[in-house]
Structure 1
Amino acid sequence: LDGLPDGVEAVRRGDLLFLLNHGREPVTVDLPGTHHDLLTRTTATDRITLGRYGAAVLKP
């Protein structure tokens, strides 16, 4: 992903996208399309908000 906020790490493993917020503040990350967050069982369209020190495991 391009243009990640400071403190956010993105790692792709196969078709999964792991997002990790290493920061003390929540951040919003722009996404290419719709993804399903396997941790929260929610759907994220175009963007996702990660809480402080938050994580997401996304599947298209």
Structure 2
Amino acid sequence: MSFSLLLGISILVTDMFAIVKIINSSAEIGRKYLWVFLICAFPVLGFILWLFKGPKN
């Protein structure tokens, strides 16, 4: 396997993890949509932002 394939798979897995956590959180629905949009639009940056600033519940 090439490095770029492994990197792509790891980004996909971490983004899916974040989206599942966001959907199951107790945050307002509008905030959930915003976080999911950010992660889909900017996969790496969106995940990093969510990791530090996202809903914790």
**TM-score w.r.t. structure 1 length?**
0.25
Q: If you compute each CA radius of gyration, which structure gives the higher value, 1 or 2? A: 2
Q: Greater strand percent: which structure?
A: 1
Q: Greater helix percent: which structure?
A: 2
